[in-house]
Amino acid sequence: MTVAAETKPTEFVDMKPEQAIDRPDDTGKILGRLLHYMTGEKQRGKFYLAMVARFIAVAGLVALPFLTGEAINTISEPGGTIAVLWNWVILAFVAGAVYLTLSVIAERLFADLATKALYKLQVALFDHIQSLSLNFYDRQPIGELMSRVTNDTEVISLFYESAVSPIIRALIQVLLILTAMLLISWPLTIVAVLIIPVMLIVTYVIMRISTPAFAKLQEELGSLSGFQEESISGYKAIISNRQQTWADKKNEDLAVGVFDVGTKAFFTSLLQYPLTQSFSMVQIVLVMVVGSFAVMAGKMPLGTVIAFASYTSLLIRPLSEIANLTSTTLNSVAGGRRVFSIMDEEPQIEDAPDAVPFEFKGGQVNFEDVDFSYIPGRKILKHNTFDAKPGQKIGICGPTGAGKSTIINILTRYYEIDSGIILIDGQDLRTLTQDSLRTQIGTVLQEAFLFSDTVMANLMYARKGATEEECIEAAKKANAHEFIEHLPQGYNTMLTERGANLSQGQRQMLTIARAMVADPKMLILDEATSNVDTRTEKLIQGGLENLMKGKTSFVIAHRLSTIRDSHKILVVNGGEIVEQDTHDNLMAKKGFYYTLYMSQFKGKLPGEISGDLAEFVST
């Protein structure tokens, strides 16, 4: 159900979680959470199997230099035979076959784990977003939120698909190679690992520089994506105001920011490769020099030195791979931090532990001295009290920003009130489950939102289990059936995004029909006829009258003719209900409502009529 819009204070809208606190260095924690999606719960068995396959495969690879060295020793030393040589050769082929076969199996298992992890993360993220209260959306520009759902999960997917398996393989390879080297010759092992501490220090320094750079890169990408999404959505406003040049310039400025930050981040991380390769060459040369002296002194056979040189090369490769994957890992940490900042958000509105389902008893509504604020200390609604009897139509009017839609938003408990009490049929909203409450309250908004689907699917969206016959009957009552029948495929016509291939009036009639399918016990209508012509308005009003029959209804209106027949009209100004009565009684009082009404229906400017419109107060 969509919620009535209300202007929020600027600082409330623009605040982002990243700006609220200074984040600690939580790289390890973020990596742990990312890996849990790959290795936790039902994935654990497959992960262990992949690890065993990977370990045995790498063991086969690590055995190859030793077997090759022994074959060379057989040839180079006295007493060697062809039979012994063939034994070493056959063992080398077996080790190679084990490595190839189990590597393929391990890669397939890790690929499945990566795909499943990304699937679980994306589903969990979207499900959690759906559970959050409206205050979360007030703080998140839609483009920024879309960037987290798309860009940030994309960099995480690269981590799952391109980094986890190679890093695990590299770590196992390093462990087994060092073990083999120590078993063969601990003096040469010391020579071989002398350069590793230097490599680790360089890697640490690069990470310290790259980590904040990648975090900044993801934020810059979020800003760019947000602007692009907003510009594409508002392309009509840009074109009509001839602001294409401005949009191009701002997009370019944001893109340059991404380029500058990205260049720093990736350049720093890419330094790993040439530095690591240089260290690798130095390490191999050291081993060969020391080993050659040992061979010449008769302390070590030639094959062992060659095997050691091969191990040194094999040792450098996984270290280089780990270093080269640093950028992918750090980028995923930056993306994961932004994703988990959403996952860690808690809904502001939650059902009480002892909450009970709403029991409809007619639709009596009571507001008792209700205060509300979006930001603590800045009240939007102040001391509002009114009652609505079952079946009554309650009109709500007032200046723009006076708090009309906010009254509706707290009636459906999309926000928690500061003080006072709201009762429906004698039941405090805070004691009811949200789902049971909103099931009984239907909403028709000024902006008719339709999904990219068929007309029938959009109608059936209102209620689980709704039949096509019920949807068609609702369309007839909403005066929508005739125009639907004239669409190219009737009820099976595919609507474009937001129903853009229909007129505003047609979209509104469909939302009225959809509300009828939902069959709520109470109704909220927020400027439902303000954007249509007079003829279409009559059709829509006819549908609304059918929809409102016998239901307690709240109608927000700027066009005061739509609420003249209300049982009670609430006149809101500056967040307070300043008048409430029937149309005739309010007009007789010649107060605030009279001033509003006369300014519309006599076609006069505020300064030409009685009353002081300077008193109009926006919250």
> What are the pLDDT digits (tens) for 417-429?
999 999 999 999 9
Q: For residue 88, what pLDDT is reported? A: 86
pLDDT of residue 11: 36
pLDDT of residue 608: 43
pLDDT value of residue 601: 65
CB 116 within 8 A of CB 201: no
Tell me the torsion sign for CA atoms 465, 468, 469, 472: positive
Write b or e for each residue in 384-399: b if 16 or more Cβ atoms lie within 10 A of its Cβ, otherwise e: bebebebbbbbbbbbb
Helices (H) and strands (E) in the chain, counts: 25, 10
**The pLDDT value given to residue 609:** 42
Which structure tokens are listed for 104?
């393929």
- Tell me the per-residue pLDDT of 156-178, one tens digit each, with 9 for 90 and over: 888 998 889 999 998 999 899 88
| Residue 3 in tokens | 């919620």
Distances, alpha carbon 537 to alpha carbons 251, 395, 505, 522, 541, in Å: 40, 17, 8, 22, 6
Q: How many CA atoms lie within 13 A of 42 on its CB side?
A: 4
**Backbone phi and psi for residue 556, each to the nearest 5 degrees, phi listed first:** -85, 130
What is the phi-psi region of residue 597: left when phi exceeds 0, alpha when psi lies from -120 to 50, beta otherwise? alpha
- Are 28-343 and 354-440+522-531+551-619 in the same CATH fold? no
- Locate the domains of the chain by residue range: 28-343, 354-440+522-531+551-619, 446-519
Q: Quickly name the fold that domain 354-440+522-531+551-619 has.
A: Rossmann fold (3.40.50)
**Residue 250 token pair:** 């701002």
Average pLDDT of adjacent 10-residue blocks, the chain of 619 residues = 41 37 66 90 90 94 84 75 86 92 93 90 87 76 73 86 89 89 81 74 70 71 70 67 75 76 68 67 72 73 76 77 78 86 85 89 92 87 92 89 87 89 92 88 79 87 86 86 89 82 82 85 77 66 78 86 88 91 92 86 48 47
CA–CA distance, 578 with 49 (Å, rounded to integer): 71
Cβ neighbours for 264, distance < 8 A, ≥ 6 positions apart? 213
Q: In terms of CATH, what superfamily is 446-519?
A: P-loop containing nucleotide triphosphate hydrolases (3.40.50.300)
E-assigned strand segments in 65-178: none
DSSP code at position 557: -
Q: What class is the 28-343 domain? A: mainly alpha
Instruction: Provide the strand spans (E) within 92-136.
Output: none
